[in-house]
Amino acid sequence: MHGIFLNIDSLIFDMDGTLWNATESYAQVWNATCADFGIEAHFTGRDLEQFMGMSISDIMSHLLGGHMGVDNRLFLQELERHEYEMMPRLGGVLYPNVIAGLESLHSSYSLFLLSNCSSRGLVNFVNVTSTQHLFKGLLTQGERPVSKCDNLLYMKQRYRLSAPAYVGDTQADCDQAHKAGIPFIFVEWGFGTCVNPDWSFSSFEMLEQELLRL
């Protein structure tokens, strides 16, 4: 038994690589934004996978490093505009059993979303997946541009969470959760690896079943 989780009352979920894979759609958003700035780009979902979980500013540095004349602030504004307009139509590919699992977990835990995505990323997710009713709070790095650790602590304080756990798919997610003093649940189907999770699962169904047994 994972004793550290016996008193868990809330679950904070990462989005990309944890609940869905939307990299092909993000690639279209990036390509459309680059075209607005006269940049010829043909990014694919595979190109973006390696950067999932990074801050938007870091992703921009990797993808636009050779275009020194680009105003990052204006580019980000256009990127968010295209994301707002395109993602409701494009969406992403949900991992198996995510919606049913969230519905089930919602009966026993308070659920939240926290991601390093743009300010509209999580709103787009809940709108596309019709899961607005499942989450008590959403927080993005686009809204509050600090580290994931700081945003986890902020969310914990804001919603008065006594014992949350963070669910994500990368080592960075794990490191940030542990820095915030929050247990970390690693999902093995995502974009990254993790050497020191507090718990790990190979499917959302297994995650759901084990947490409901606690």
Domains of the chain: 3-21+94-213 (3.40.50.1000), 23-90 (1.10.150)
Phi and psi at residue 143, in whole multiples of 5°?
Answer: -80, -40
User: Distance between CA atoms of 39 and 55, rounded to whole angstroms?
Assistant: 21
E strands, 10-127, are 10-13, 20-21, 93-94, 110-115
| DSSP type of residue 16 | B
pTM of the model: 0.93
Give per-residue pLDDT as tens, 103-159. 999 999 999 999 998 888 999 999 999 999 999 999 999 899 999 999 999 999 999
What confidence score (pLDDT) does residue 210 get? 96
E strands, the chain, are 10-13, 20-21, 93-94, 110-115, 135-140, 164-168, 184-187, 199-201
DSSP letter string, 136-170: EEEEETTTS-S-HHHHHHHHHHHTT-SSEEEEESS
Q: Which residues of the chain have pLDDT under 50?
A: 1
